[in-house]
A and B are shown apart, each in its own frame.
Chain A
Amino acid sequence: MLQDILVTGLVNSGVYALLAVGFSLIFGVARIVNIAHTAFYMLAAYCFYALLVKGGLGFALAGVIAVAAVTAFSVLCYRLVIEPVREHEAAVLIATIALALIFQELMLLSFGGHYLGIPSTLEGVVRFFGVSIPYQRLLILVVAAAMLAAVWFLLYRTRLGLAIRATANDLEVANLMGMNVHRVAMATVAISVALAAIAGVVVAPVFVVDPFMWLAPLVTMLAIVVLGGLGSMKGSLIGALIIGYVEAITVFALPAGAYLKGAVGLLIMVAVLLARPEGLFGVAFEEER
């Protein structure tokens, strides 16, 4: 049973980490609580489905177009909906909830409430310590690791990353130093949503595409980023690992309570917050900045 928990937990964590990284980035850097983050993930999954299954394009082309289209659309949404109210956190929160619900209803109108399947990018299964793991799951793990590395590289090894971190550290000083803070925020939104879109393209083949698919990951993702420390990349990764393993342990230790796996994860998040209100790596993140 131990090997089942170790392998299954790791595989689950990969999915969660991929979703949580982008959300964490946009909050940590641009201070935007983008509730529509997983809704963009849903849009990318639908876009990928339409291009791949209906349009007959190949995996790579459909994936690239889906990610590019959703990223471009997010920039439009940012300019029209988020930017005008960006100074008011509550308004941003409400605006992004509204955006998510609009996307949901638009998909419901366009595709109906049908559950759609996307073929696996990689077929086949590998046995690891006696546990079956489909190749698609391994791909998610690899992509999640690559995305984390890419985000780290972008933030700490490029001029754009420096600008993003400077803007996040002190908006007014960054502005006085001649940085175009609006453009930096927009770039952050685009990068964050691109990560969500990549998650949609890579993760959707193991899930089911439907207009409500953004809700469950949103709750898990919020739990992960709050647990790890809002805005901390490292915290998101550790949070994803914790939640992934807690869920696996719950299912293996309490089969008839498998439906409780989400609740147990949230319970742990609450327990951590009671002990450390800033989350596991909240302070560390502040120091990093």
Chain B
Amino acid sequence: MLRSTLLACALALAAPLAAAQGAIKIAVLGPMAFVQGENHWAGAEMARDNINKAGGINVGGKRMQIELVRGDTNEMGSVPDATNTVERVITRDKADFLVGGFRSEAVLAMQEVAMDYKKIFLGAGAAHSKLGINVEQNYDRYKYWFRITPVKDVDLVRTTFAVLATVAGQMRKQLNKPSPKVAILAEKAVWVEGIVAAAQKNLPAMKMEVVGVWQPSAVATDVTAELSAIERAGADIVFTLLSGPVGIVVGRQMGERGMKSIAFGINVEAQKDAFWQAAAGKANYVSTLDTYAKVQMTPKTIDFVNAFEKRFGKSPTYNAGTHDAIYLLKEAIEQAGTTDADKLVAAMEKISFTGAAGVVEFDKRHDPVWGPGKSTGIAVQWQDGKKVPFWPPQIPGMQPFKMPSH
């Protein structure tokens, strides 16, 4: 009796182990207590469930299920925590692949650990060019890194200027302002430096007048003085470059002051559904670059956004690009017929993958190729509590950009 009980226990313990041996382990890396990490995990969960339900990944004729490993990087507060998490998921949890990451400072450090172990790392959060430059400068070491979302910082600038030209054009037409005045409101951070310099140089050539540059801290809780000065300068457009909570403060305080100028640029907080509530419903007309909306960027976009909203009760942020990352990985594995990292790198470099955010093809830095029909991102505006997509205008489903009445 005792012997048979022990045998049953041993079999019960061995069963999941056997199942795990037939699984591909993907570590999802992100700050899990924050919206970014929640989206990393949610996007990955959707991909895992859909792929496993459809029979898993075909690796050279053998069907393998996906198993996710949750890696809370705590990267908002600690870069060492993030690198320790990467080390843990690789050495202890035996992850085969890595997806996710958010803060560029943390992801640059996480990239080093992943490359030490020659693990394929699909980024879904960091925009810093250095991540791709590493691949170009030291290919043998960094070739395992690929960026899925967002496009790199330089390409974000391209998109931002293209949208800014559209907004300024509408302003010229509707408000009869031949040379709209632009106030640059950029948090003090490394990622904005190039963009601020480019804006100061290029906006006059685009027939816009730069009235000043204001640089509050990314975590500033009050921008009363900055907004007073911007109002006094007579700005028509507030060109925002904000990734921290200051983005909420700017949106809210602009609304509270009843400012007539329009905020457009990059405002990471404004990409989230919770932004309207966080800004206490004051952030009307605030607009920002974004990644997902119910528009036909690709044939998969609307279905993905609908399914995401149905399952999680909120719309995805660009960190849910882990979904595209895992599907792209599946396609590469099935093409290569193996999970060998070096062979997969070669397959991924040639891939043309249609995801929910765009069509991903990689350049020599393993960054997604920027351009209409590939990966550009979209622009959205908050209108009466709803996030309304308005750019690129030629995409079906886009709606008009609105301005406050003057």
Complex partner residue of B225 from A116, A212, A258, CB under 8 angstroms: A258
| Pair count A-B, CB < 8 A | 117
A125, B229: Cα distance in complex, Å: 17
Instruction: Give every chain A residue within 8 A of B257 (Cβ-Cβ).
Output: 125, 132, 134
Residues from chain B with Cβ under 8 Å of A117 in the complex: 248, 252, 277-280
Q: A208-B245, A256-B215 are in contact. Are A251 and B231 (CB under 8 A)?
A: no
The distance in angstroms between the C-alpha atoms of A247 and B226, with both chains bound, is: 10
Q: Which of A219-253 contact B (CB under 8 A)?
A: 247-248, 251-252
B280 and A12 within 8 A (CB)? no
Determine, out of A61-69, A107-115, A280-288, the stretch whose residues face the partner at the interface.
Answer: A107-115
Bound-complex Cα distance A86 to B280 (A): 41
| Residues in B neighbouring A256, C-beta threshold 8 A | 212-215
In the bound complex, residues from chain B placing their C-beta under 8 Å from that of A208 are 221, 245, 248-249, 252, 278
Considering the chains assembled together, what is the distance between the CA atoms of A251 and B252 in angstroms?
19
Interface residue total, chain B, C-beta cutoff 8 A = 41
- Please indicate which of the listed interface residues B224, B245, B280 has the most CB atoms of chain A within 10 Å of its own CB: B224
The complex places the Cα of A74 from the Cα of B29 at a distance, in Å, of: 37
* Distance (whole angstroms) from the CB of A128 to the closest CB of chain B: 11
A15 to B221, CA, bound (A): 11
* Structural contact, A1 and B278, CB atoms closer than 8 A: no
Docked pose: A210 CA to B274 CA in angstroms: 13
Contact A113 B35, CB 8 Å, known A119-B281, A132-B228, A251-B229:
yes
Q: Please give me the residue from chain A that is nearest to B278 by CB atom.
A: A117
**Contact yes or no, B221 A262, CB < 8 A:** no
A153 beta carbon closer than 8 Å to chain B = no
For residue A213, CB closer than 8 A to chain B, the reply is: yes
Q: Who on chain B is nearest to A261 by CB?
A: B225
- Chain B CB within 8 A of A206 CB: yes
In whole angstroms, what is the CA distance A131 to B230 when docked?
11
Whether B279 lies near A132 (C-beta < 8 A) is: no
Contact of A279 with B by CB under 8 A? no
Confirm or deny: B33 has a beta carbon within 8 angstroms of a beta carbon on chain A.
Answer: yes
Chain A, 177-224, CB within 8 A of any chain B CB: 205-208, 210, 212-213, 216-217
Whether B245 contacts A206 by the Cβ 8 Å rule is: no
List 30 A–B pairs whose Cβ atoms lie within 8 Å, in order of A's numbering.
Answer: A4-B232, A8-B225, A53-B277, A109-B33, A113-B31, A114-B34, A114-B35, A116-B274, A117-B252, A117-B277, A117-B278, A118-B280, A120-B256, A120-B280, A125-B256, A134-B257, A137-B224, A210-B245, A216-B220, A247-B225, A251-B214, A251-B225, A251-B226, A255-B212, A255-B215, A255-B229, A256-B215, A258-B188, A258-B226, A259-B215
